[in-house]
Structure 1
């Protein structure tokens, strides 16, 4: 029996990874009973076969859960338990919990209080787990330095799209960028790059997945489209199946993010035969070999690389990282042989 403690996961890349992990355990490890603790808002998962789902519907119950001694547990929401247990792991995938104090204090009061308190919590209680797992070397080094916790291992995992979609879809977009519009995702610079290309009368199509609540970006997209040079389509937040379809309909992923714990979209896109032009940052090279790179702080450089891509004659991208989902599961069940 293993336990996955994830009541802090509600959306985004964390939820995508969690759903994939649970599905993999269900299909590939049918003899292992897995109890999953989720926030009550996550209703797409139900108990089935070897998976038992327990929904947590209050902050008090979450505190009670973290106060309980649970062996063979994966704490999937970055935070360790309040008590020590045997064979326990924190899976860490939140950049804000590595943010230096001097940078954190410059953010909003709400943001500062939330992440400062969580950082303090981790400092106090991280020794209650045996190991921390993360997705790339940069995060590993930063975590060790910030929290003085040595046993940090690289255990990245990811779900890939069905390549059969490539035969069922025609290419509609020159570029796509699959990402929610968090500040570090750098949509503003990308749209500024598009404006530069419009002024040069360079036409292309691009699909974005900006969620509701970002009216400034949506208005900027409308203004760019009014010039009748390029076409930018905002598809909104997409489920996994539609994301995979979008990859099949696109030629190139443009990825201007300034920070990532992994960069799942990079690996997904290359697996679907897309070229990738991305930020010239370490997290990119730890996952893939991109076709082109740019300075993510420079709208001009992003535009130049997009223009270079449209002109052709670039190298294909390739994946460099290994999926270690089975290694993670085997650590939890303390097995060295296939189950």
Structure 2
């Protein structure tokens, strides 16, 4: 049996972080279809053959035709980039679904037009070409989302490469909190920044680092920079990439915060756990699939996020003082 790994649309983010160690683990006859943008791959077993394709429509069609012609009924195709084979295949097909936007009808409002068009086309592709393929996902939460929205069963089969121990933590960390995430709307950066503004109004100035990139997240970075001009609002941004840079940033931080609305997996949560950081996160199922946060909050509420941060810092916000009717009448007559 030959294993075919179709990953010709994977070149960055969580997909790349999972694909590279998976390729390094292969010890059998295997043909791997890779995106030309992926860059270098680890040393692979001699039985692994790599084929690269351009990240264009003709390039993808070439990859799909090659896969159709090469795979036989004795083979297994692992579709690592969310999409099943475009053409019917004689081989057994397993689709590794990692994109929550494809598994659900989550809104794409706020994304670039090109990204929205791509997601809608991939939703059509997934629905039309899944056929008898087996769906696998990373978490129980993702499996439930697939069953609810796609009316298909998905098997939770989580895997993650063994993380290297994080180096010595800084004795005086640069940041109180770090949020390792790209700038998609569901990552919820704007509500997080609004929470920091609430903290500032209450006299607290914890430092926060966001990992927004100069190119991909240019518009959001500009928005954060404008909001962070408020004196005393301590928000920094670091353009980091790769496991090593993330590990160094975590070693310079006291805690991880994660306000994302949803995730198919949540790799940064595992990285923060590996670094020994306390985690403050959304009260969402995807979080508790992977870690036990020390504090949780409603990600739709900046005030809830701010309150969770204050609880973690040991300075919870005061609750309301409730008057009885006599005190209420006395107060309104005295104050108005």
Do Structure 1 and Structure 2 share a fold, with TM-score over 0.5?
yes
* RMSD between superposed Cα atoms in Å: 2.6
Residue 208 (structure 1) aligned to one of 193, 207, 210:
210
Does 1:277 find its partner at 2:273? no
Does 1:65 find its partner at 2:66? yes
Deviates more, 1:189-198 or 1:113-122: 113-122
Q: Pick 1 or 2: higher relative contact order, CA cutoff 8 A, min separation 6.
A: 1
Determine helix, strand or coil for the equivalent of 2:199.
Answer: helix
Residue 102 (structure 2) aligned to one of 90, 97, 101:
97
Mark the CA change 1:167 to 1:118 in structure 2 (over 3 Å): closer, same or farther.
closer
Deviation at 1:230, TM superposition (A): 4.1
Deviation at 1:76, TM superposition (A): 0.2
Contact residue 111 and residue 185 of structure 2 kept, 8 A: no
Mark the CA change 1:132 to 1:69 in structure 2 (over 3 Å): closer, same or farther.
farther
Distance 1:106 1:211 in 2: 17
Deviates more, 1:275-284 or 1:39-48: 39-48
Give the corresponding residue for 2:322: none
Determine helix, strand or coil for the equivalent of 2:69.
Answer: coil
Deviation at 1:262, TM superposition (A): 1.0
Give the corresponding residue for 1:199: 201
Determine helix, strand or coil for the equivalent of 1:288.
Answer: coil
Work out the number of aligned pairs and report it.
Answer: 305
Mark the CA change 1:178 to 1:37 in structure 2 (over 3 Å): closer, same or farther.
same
Distance 2:195 2:207 in 1: 13
Give the corresponding residue for 2:160: 158
Deviation at 1:169, TM superposition (A): 7.5
Mark the CA change 1:218 to 1:261 in structure 2 (over 3 Å): closer, same or farther.
same
Determine helix, strand or coil for the equivalent of 2:39.
Answer: coil
Determine helix, strand or coil for the equivalent of 1:311.
Answer: coil
Distance 1:11 1:215 in 2: 17
Unaligned runs of 5+ in 1: 314-339
Give the corresponding residue for 2:256: 253
Contact residue 161 and residue 244 of structure 1 kept, 8 A: no
